[in-house]
Every structure is written in C-alpha cells, then in structure tokens.
Structure 1
C-alpha cells in the first residue's frame, strides 16, 4: 500500500469517527475520561513493575514515583470522571493548539500547491477551537462536559480533512531520484 493511501485512509477514518463523536458528545467526553483513567492505571502498574528491573537507585525511585503519579491520576479520573473531563479539556486545549500550529507549519511547506489554503485553514480552526475551550473553561466549567465531546468531534473532522489534503499532496509530490531508484 502506498504512503499516500495510508494517509488518505487515516483521514477518512478520522472523519468517520468525528461524525460518531458529534452524535453523542457527552458520552464521548465521559468515555474519553474513563479510557484515559484505565490507560493511566495500566501505565502506572507497568511503570512500577518496570521500576524493579531498572539499574540504579535514582532510576528506581524515579520509576516508582512516576508509576505512583500515573496510578493516582488514573484512579482520580475513574473516581471523579466529571473533574477528569475538566482536566482532559485542558489537555485537549494544549493538543488542539499544538496540532493547529503543526498544520500551519506544514501548510507553508505546501505553499504554491492547491493544498496550502485548506491545510492552513485547518490549522487556524484548531487554534480557534483551543480558544473556545479556554473561554468556556474560565467562564462555564460545567458546559465542558458536552462541549469537549463536540469540539473533539469537530477537531477529528478537521484533522481528517487535513490528512486527506496531505495524502493528495504526497501523491502529487515530485519524487526524488533516490526514491525512484529504490522502487525500480
């Protein structure tokens, strides 16, 4: 399977999941919080177990502390999913901002192609979503329960469209001589 097809499939999958998330935003918000809690618990256990196998006292202590922090966070997310959703909203804010900045940087590498503007707009819209989360978090924290799911679905759509545009960019990008020689 060629590289551009993989990007295209990931983009289409992101679009499909974005539509599902938009259909049930509160369920999506709570589900993300619960899954994050479970993953943190599993990671914490693995970190503590791994702490017994590392060399050096400082490394062991660090592994145990990191494992304990992950266990605490995982338990906290599972025990208080609404508070966990507010915490995740902050994490999503950071991820939306970082993803938006990354797509803006990527768009300038596509300058001069038909993919420049869609990728740039996708990045700008992700940054706008981060701003919306920030404004809701500071004024109405309870609204984040459904808003987080809605924004997550929208971000998945933007990400999917960005990946689709990138797939077609990769497909149409000129190949260098070393790539052509390796394929021959």
Structure 2
C-alpha cells in the first residue's frame, strides 16, 4: 500500500472518529478524564517508587510526595469521573484565559509590526472563549468541553492528513 493511501485512510478514520466524538462529547469528556486518571495513577506510582532511588533526602521526600499526590489525583478522577471532568474543564478554561492574557500583553510589545493585530485578536478570542466557558459552565458546557475540543482536533488532524495524502499523490504522479 502506498504512503499517500495510508495517510488518506488514517485521515478519513480521524474525521470519522472526530464526528463520532462530537456526537457524544460528554462521553468523550468522561473517557478523557478516565484516561487521565489511569495515566496519573501509573505515573504517580512510578514517581513514588522511583523517589526511593533519588539521591538527597529533600529530593527523595519531594519525589515521593509528588508521586503520592499524582496517585491521589488519579484515584480521584477514576472514583468521581464527572467531578474530574469539571476539574479538567476548569483547568482548560484557566489555560485559555492565561494564554489569552499573555498574547494580549505580547501584542502590545509588537505594536507597530504586522503581528500586532493577529496576536491581539488571538488573545482576545482566547479570553472570550474562557469567559464563554465560565459563563455557561452551569448549563453543561463544562461536561462536554473536553469532548468538543477533542472532536475538533480530530477533524483538523484528519483533514490535515487527507490534504497531506493528496499532496503526496500529486507529487508522486509528477515524479
């Protein structure tokens, strides 16, 4: 099978999964929270065990404590997936707001260049998205936010792979 065809099939699969995820964003959000919980449990367990091999009493204690916190957080996400989903959505909202504020500040350092307006608009949109999520958290948007973002990313990824496949096919014809 040619490389372009592999990319095309992978892209189509990503688009299909993106549509499925967008059709059930709350389920996808809970799945993301569950996977995050599993990864935190594994990572925290390894961190705590690995902490015993670290040199220096302070480093050893810090490493073990961080591992225990990660295990606790992972267990919390797995025990209470809806609350974990709200927690992760809140973190995403805070990251949107922080990124928006940082880009707005950065844009004013770019005043007089062609990058001022795109950077300012990008920052304002991120800040607006964070405000929208916060304002609508009570109506269930927070529960579906992670799934919506994942579905959109899968669509973008799928279309990107499809375009890359078409590009590869066209260059192979001309070679």
* TM-score under structure 1 length normalisation: 0.61
**5+ long unaligned stretches in structure 1:** 1-12, 161-184
Q: Contact (CA 8 Å) 2:133, 2:141: kept in 1 or not?
A: no
Task: Quote how far apart the aligned CAs of 1:156 are.
Answer: 5.7
Instruction: Give the Cα separation in 1 of the matches to 2:86 and 2:24.
Output: 18
Instruction: Give the Cα separation in 2 of the matches to 1:51 and 1:86.
Output: 30
* Larger radius of gyration between Structure 1 and Structure 2: 2
* TM-score under structure 2 length normalisation: 0.64
1:102 aligns with 2:102: yes
**5+ long unaligned stretches in structure 2:** 1-10, 158-175
Partner of 1:112: 113
Partner of 1:25: 25
Tell me the SS of whatever aligns to 2:53.
coil
Task: Quote how far apart the aligned CAs of 1:155 are.
Answer: 8.6
Q: Say how many residue pairs are matched.
A: 139
1:68 aligns with 2:68: yes
Instruction: Give the Cα separation in 2 of the matches to 1:57 and 1:142.
Output: 46
Partner of 1:144: 142
Instruction: Give the Cα separation in 2 of the matches to 1:154 and 1:107.
Output: 30
Would the alpha carbon gap of residues 107 and 24 (structure 1) be closer, same or farther in structure 2, given more than 3 Å must change?
A: farther
Q: Mapping of 1:1-184 within 5 angstroms?
A: 20=18, 22-108=22-108, 109=110, 111-113=112-114, 115-137=115-137, 140=138, 142-150=140-148, 152=149
Task: Quote how far apart the aligned CAs of 1:38 are.
Answer: 1.9
Tell me the SS of whatever aligns to 2:136.
helix
Would the alpha carbon gap of residues 154 and 130 (structure 1) be closer, same or farther in structure 2, given more than 3 Å must change?
A: farther
Instruction: Give the Cα separation in 1 of the matches to 2:152 and 2:92.
Output: 10
